Structures are given as C-alpha cells and as structure tokens.
Amino acid sequence: MAMPLVLQYVLIGVAVMLAALFVWRTRFPRSWRATRIAIAIPMLREGRPAWIQRIGRRIVPASALASGECGGCNGCG
C-alpha cells in the first residue's frame, strides 16, 4: 500500500532539512556556533521556567575555556 503523497513530501522535506543542517554545521562552524549562542542566551535569562533553561543549557556550545585551552600559542606551559 502506497504512502499518502503529503506524507512522502513531509518525509522528503525533513530529510532535506537534516542534510542542510549537517552541511551548515560541518562547513560553517563559526556561523553554527553563533546561531546556537543567539538561540540559547534568551533561554538562560533569569525568570525563565526551569525547563526552558535546561533546553538552553543543552543548546549553548561548550566554552573554549572549559576545555582548559585558550586556543592560543600554548606558551603557558
């Protein structure tokens, strides 16, 4: 039995969207990071419900300082 045509279009649209997000994330990491920050910062403000803040913490990218490396010359020794 064939899938309804609308459902097929929805599935193709989802597949294309996921592919586009993958390309964006891998080819344009600076833009991807900036977008994640722009989405997460309003979610982390005080007064937001706890569930929104949890989602914001999952969206925000890890800090470069959290790894212990500044990304510089590594002259700190």
Cα 73 from Cα 71, distance rounded (Å): 7
Query: Of the candidates 24, 22, 16, 48, which has an alpha carbon nearest to the alpha carbon of residue 40?
Result: 48
The reply to whether 74 falls in a domain is: no
Helix (H, G, I), strand (E, B) or coil at 50: helix
Tell me the residue range of the domain where 49 lies: 5-59
Instruction: Tell me: pLDDT of 72 over 60.
Output: no
Q: How many domains does the chain have?
A: 1
Contact 12, 20 (CB under 8 A): no
Percent of the chain with pLDDT over 70: 79
pTM over 0.85: no
Instruction: Tell me: pLDDT of 5 over 60.
Output: yes
Both tokens of 33, joined, read 């990071």
Q: For 27-50, how does the pLDDT look when each residue is reduced to its tens digit (9 = 90+)?
A: 999 999 999 999 999 999 999 999
The reply to whether 71 falls in a domain is: no
The reply to whether 13 falls in a domain is: yes
Quickly state the pLDDT bin for 62 (edges 50, 70, 90): confident
